[in-house]
Structure 1
Amino acid sequence: MTTKDRNAGQGPPGFAEFATARYPDLVRLGTLLTGDTHLGEDLAQTGLLAVLRAWRRLHPDGHPEAYARVAMTRAAAKAGRRRWRGETPTGELPERADTGGDVDAALDARRMLAALPTPQRLVLVLRFWLDLSEQQTADALDCSLGTVKSRTSRALKALRESTSIVNGVR
């Protein structure tokens, strides 16, 4: 049996190891970009598929994770421009057990981030989660530097307002 026969169905050499190692981080990024865990998993798979298609160019000297991030960001931006999001907001949230302050704060932060319009959410995730500069964010989103600045400003203002409403301060 040749090496090619043993690797049949596993993809190009090195890809399976990359995908296994980076998948959890890509899902986390996808969840932040979309505001939904399941959509985040779909987005991570979209990113991995893009990497698989470009694997010959990316391996071993390229940056497959950066390539996946760009593909995921563009897919999230494209999905955010669609009219229907598949969910209907509700005024009442179901009861849940007290899991501790840190978990509640993290869930609240994710909920507030998910409530932002897609362009604003994407800018915040790229700027503050991935720690990209304003120019890198503009390049990733294919928009101007001024657009990144205005979206960041509006998003932070909206988060401050939602935080003050949650805390009862107006």
Structure 2
Amino acid sequence: MGETITLDDTDRRLLRLLQAEPDLTLREVGERLGLSHTPCWRRLARMREAGVIEERRHIVDPVAAGFEITVFCAVRMNGHSREHLEEFEAAVAGIAEVVQCYSVSGDHDYLLRVLARSIRHYESTVKNALVQLPHVLSISTSVTLREIKNTTDVPL
């Protein structure tokens, strides 16, 4: 990540457009924003360099890919030393079914979002991976019934 930058209105319009229509060509983006190719490219390069734009990727629908179950796991740790937290975070990063992990405040220490093909698959993930995570005191599980909203768009 580079230097901190201030986003102007054109930067925000550019980011909103790319979030909504990521497959537009640079020429199409420039036309929509009233910019020529070079200034549009420079703005994108500056925002990439500063870390405002992290990466480009396609978003896969988990259900369409066979992952019917989304589970949120609230994890409570049995110790809070830097070593314990780093060991936990390194271990959880290696579990493919854990697609998000957040350090949180409140009654729990971490919140995990876990994808599974079925309840049986989730049970296997619990037995073979989650309960094996280092320094875990307890895991509280909430199985989602229905997804109401899920977006990666930043409200610019």
What is the TM-score normalised by the length of structure 2? 0.30
Higher relative contact order (CA 8 A, sep 6+): 2
TM-score by length of 1: 0.29
More strand by share: 2
